[in-house]
Amino acid sequence: MTSFGNLMPNRPKDSNPRASASKIEIAKHLVNWFRENARDLPWRRTLDPYGIWVSEVMLQQTQVKTVIPFWEHWMREVPTLDALTNLPEPRLLKLWEGLGYYTRVRNLQKAARQIGANLNGVFPSDPVQILELPGIGRYSAGAIASIAFGQAQPLLDGNVIRVLTRLHGICENAREKTTLNQLWALATELVTVAETLDKKPRQGARLSAGPCSDLNQSLMELGATVCLPSKPACPACPIRQHCVAAAEGLVDRIPDLGKRPAATARRFVAFVAESNHRVFVTQRPTGGVNVGLWEFPNIEMGNDEAITSPMLGFIFDPTGKPLLTIKHSITRYRITLEVFPAKLQAGKSSQLAGKWIPKAELHSLAFTSAHAKIRTKIT
């Protein structure tokens, strides 16, 4: 079998006539397509850098349809940098509950405070200053600088990587540094030529900071709606006549994302202890993940380890059917969480770091995603 590398040997960036023929043509097709086909998303109806920043942070690791109600609720509750700066932590975590990856929201508040302290409370338009804010990487800086301020700053996320590698027939591992550098350079070229395109008046409710914003968003939109990981809709693609992968039958083989590390199975047991309409819950300590989030008392077990009672000071029936079993994945971990109804051993309550909370008040606390499912089950 011919190796992938031999099928499509390395080629200099601009050696393919279709790909290099006309960056301006490609940019024009993309921008025009986006202006006609952009989804109506709530954060596209604003040019407020704060709102755009919040949307970009929420969209990291979370799908658009999940983010929409969260963003709308957030912008009603925390409409400004000032409001975010002064938001008490329990409220901050509660508003983020369900989005997960809580470091994102902690960084959001840290950055708001940094802007207040160092930049007179004004969100910076300088990409270097944007990049210095906590939680903002090269992608987010490019997104905010282009979408909120119309600057010719590139961006590269998973969707854009897929479009650019296919467009240019790049077969090398897209996670490797040299390939990524090549892709950043291609993204930069495209957004730079977009600067010369028409500044179209806004369409419908969507606002645009200009052609660089439209170009960057067109790449993300194309990757999200047309140039899908499997079975891309090439006949509907505005740049199909320039696309090397489509022309050479390589769509199924590009991008090469290398091998993902194998998922690791982890197993936890959690306990629901109730007494007088109150439930015993604990708060995650500092120094780990999900600091400050609430959960039911739980312990990690070996995958084949026997469950015996008592455990963590709770008496339960280890042979009985769990109240529920939750399976979920976090980063590279495939987690199984078995939940048992339990009773605290006499005298143990005071030795455990936790609180008896009235059942009716559980919903006012921010729980980790898996434990929010337990809360839903018992309330």
Question: What are residue 326's DSSP bridge partners?
Answer: 337
Taking CB under 6 A as the rule, does residue 19 contact ligand SF4?
no
Token code pair at residue 370 = 């898996």
Q: Which is nearer to ligand SF4, 143 or 243 (CB)?
A: 243
Minimum CB–partner distance for residue 26 and ligand SF4 (Å): 10
Catalytic residue among 25, 36, 56, 189: 56
**Closest residue by Cα to residue 295 from 206, 231, 374:** 374
> How far, CA to CA in Å, does 90 sit from each of 84, 95, 236, 363?
13, 9, 47, 12
Taking CB under 6 A as the rule, does residue 237 contact ligand SF4?
yes
Helix/strand/coil for 80: coil
Strands 314-315 and 324-330: unpaired
Minimum CB–partner distance for residue 247 and ligand SF4 (Å): 8
Choose, by CB under 6 A, the member of 31, 108, 190, 245 that binds ligand SF4.
245
How many angstroms separate the CA atoms of 202 and 208, rounded?
6
Total site size for ligand SF4, rule CB under 6 A: 14
Q: Which is nearer to ligand SF4, 156 or 337 (CB)?
A: 156
Taking CB under 6 A as the rule, does residue 67 contact ligand SF4?
no
Strands 355-358 and 314-315: unpaired
How many angstroms separate the CA atoms of 222 and 294, rounded?
39
User: Among all chains, which residue has been given the structure tokens 């939680």?
Assistant: 135
Interface with ligand SF4 by CB under 6 A: which range of 141-149, 162-170, 176-184, 274-282? 162-170
How many angstroms separate the CA atoms of 228 and 93, rounded?
33
Minimum CB–partner distance for residue 220 and ligand SF4 (Å): 13
Taking CB under 6 A as the rule, does residue 248 contact ligand SF4?
no
Range 362-367, long-range pairs (CB < 8 A, 24+ positions):
362/279, 362/281, 364/94, 365/90, 365/94, 365/281, 365/294, 366/90, 366/93, 366/94, 366/96, 366/97, 366/292, 366/293, 366/294, 367/97, 367/293, 367/294, 367/295
**Closest residue by Cα to residue 336 from 301, 296, 311, 367:** 301
Report the site for ligand SF4 in 329-348 (rule: CB under 6 A): none
Question: What are residue 273's DSSP bridge partners?
Answer: 342
Q: Which is nearer to ligand SF4, 227 or 269 (CB)?
A: 227
Choose, by CB under 6 A, the member of 251, 291, 315, 323 that binds ligand SF4.
251
Taking CB under 6 A as the rule, does residue 163 contact ligand SF4?
yes
- Judged on CB neighbours under 10 Å (0-12, 13-18, 19+), 131 is middle
Contact 287, 293 (CB under 8 A): no
Token code pair at residue 262 = 């194998």
Taking CB under 6 A as the rule, does residue 243 contact ligand SF4?
yes
Report the site for ligand SF4 in 206-235 (rule: CB under 6 A): 226-227, 232, 234
Interface with ligand SF4 by CB under 6 A: which range of 5-13, 27-35, 163-171, 298-306? 163-171
Mention every residue, 6+ apart, whose C-beta is less than 8 A from residue 370. 295, 326, 328, 335, 337
Q: Which is nearer to ligand SF4, 161 or 372 (CB)?
A: 161
Report the site for ligand SF4 in 166-185 (rule: CB under 6 A): 166-167
State the binding string over 120-159 for ligand SF4 (x if CB under 6 A, else -): ----------------------------------------
Minimum CB–partner distance for residue 310 and ligand SF4 (Å): 57
* 56 is annotated as an active-site residue: yes
Q: Which is nearer to ligand SF4, 253 or 266 (CB)?
A: 253
Minimum CB–partner distance for residue 164 and ligand SF4 (Å): 9
Q: Which is nearer to ligand SF4, 166 or 371 (CB)?
A: 166
Minimum CB–partner distance for residue 222 and ligand SF4 (Å): 7
Interface with ligand SF4 by CB under 6 A: which range of 9-17, 180-188, 242-250, 256-264? 242-250
Binding site for ligand SF4 (CB under 6 A): 163, 166-167, 226-227, 232, 234, 237, 239-240, 243, 245-246, 251
Just list the catalytic residues: 56
